[in-house]
């Protein structure tokens, strides 16, 4: 088996069904022949997701039911553990596949020994490009991210390009390399797990590349709420700095995160903005 497409579902039944349907529409031959498989992990959704998935008649589809919601990283690791393909493709449940670009991505790995991770270009629902690759978050880049200068550290190149990290919404990697790296960091519940994985790949002299020749839509933000995302980005950033950076860099990063959160909590009180107050109060609780 060449490719295992790993999809994690947590209360996103309709999005997941649409994602699977789009895969089948493009890769029915590969699924029927056993060249590809779909590994669907339900992260203990506790709704009617599993019942709906069990009714699917899709060749090459295997369902793994987690006994608890372990988060994105551990859920994907569970899927990888049960996968049979030489390559793994981690694909968000809120994506839709519009061509056979995954086959070309597989071919790009041929004879490229230092290629560790290949990320696909993602498009928004309106057809515009998503910024689905970026630079590692050193202190300067963290400052840019926190104060709204994402366009300086994230991009969507129009050509195949070596980058620091790619989005985990469509990330391809050899199963042997994923195993060697130890999978996604189990301590990261969700968000920045893709960047952290690419960082560890770089430490092992493995390159990460961005692959644009594909048509893949990502309904960003549909599988989680904005407050949830921001709170977990804060937590994940501290995990990354604690794991990979010096104590002084960790303290500086924590100070920067805390300072922004404090400012926005105060602003939320002044403007009576419940969203700012709730979101950044939760961020502070995690610091």
pLDDT over 60 at 130, yes or no = yes
The three-state secondary structure class of 242 is: helix
pLDDT tens per residue, range 78-121:
999 999 999 999 999 999 999 999 999 999 999 898 999 999 99
Q: How confident is the model at residue 226 (pLDDT cuts 50, 70, 90)?
A: confident
Whole-structure pTM value: 0.94
If you compute the radius of gyration of the chain from its CA atoms, what whole number of angstroms results? 19
Q: How confident is the model at residue 220 (pLDDT cuts 50, 70, 90)?
A: confident
The whole-angstrom separation of Cα 172 and Cα 119 is 6
The whole-angstrom separation of Cα 284 and Cα 287 is 5
> Quick count: other Cβ atoms within 10 Å of Cβ 130?
17
Residues found in the chain: 287
Question: What is the topology classification, in CATH, of domain 3-218?
Answer: Spore Coat Polysaccharide Biosynthesis Protein SpsA; Chain A (3.90.550)
| Strand-by-strand arrangement of the 165-166 sheet | 154-155, 133-134, 165-166
Residue ranges per structural domain of the chain: 3-218, 226-285
CB 133, CB 104: distance < 8 Å: no
């Amino acid at each position: 088996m060449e490719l295992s497409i790993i999809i994690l579902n947590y209360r996103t039944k309709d999005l997941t069904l649409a994602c699977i349907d789009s895969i089948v529409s493009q890769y029915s031959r590969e699924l029927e022949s056993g060249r590809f498989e779909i590994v669907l992990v339900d992260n203990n959704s506790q709704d009617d997701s599993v019942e709906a998935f069990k009714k699917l008649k899709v060749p090459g589809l295997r369902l793994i039911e987690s006994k608890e919601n372990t988060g994105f990283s551990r859920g994907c690791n569970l899927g990888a553990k049960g996968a049979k393909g030489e390559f793994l493709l981690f694909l968000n449940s809120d994506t839709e596949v519009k061509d056979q670009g995954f086959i070309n991505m597989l071919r790009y790995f041929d004879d490229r020994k230092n290629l560790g991770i290949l990320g696909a270009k993602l498009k928004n629902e309106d057809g515009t490009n998503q910024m689905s690759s970026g630079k590692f978050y050193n202190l300067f880049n963290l400052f840019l991210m926190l104060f709204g200068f994402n366009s300086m550290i994230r991009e969507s190149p129009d050509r195949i390009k070596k980058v620091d990290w790619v989005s985990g919404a469509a990330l391809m990697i050899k199963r042997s390399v994923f195993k060697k790296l130890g999978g996604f960091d189990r301590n990261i519940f969700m968000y920045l797990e893709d960047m952290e994985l690419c960082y560890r790949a770089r430490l092992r002299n493995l390159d990460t590349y961005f692959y644009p020749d594909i048509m893949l839509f990502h309904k960003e933000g549909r599988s989680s709420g904005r407050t949830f995302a921001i709170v977990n980005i804060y937590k994940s950033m501290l995990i990354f700095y604690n794991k990979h950076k010096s104590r002084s860099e960790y303290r500086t990063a924590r100070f920067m995160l805390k300072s922004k959160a404090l400012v926005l909590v105060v602003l939320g009180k002044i403007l009576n903005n419940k969203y700012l107050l709730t979101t950044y109060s939760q961020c502070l609780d995690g610091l």
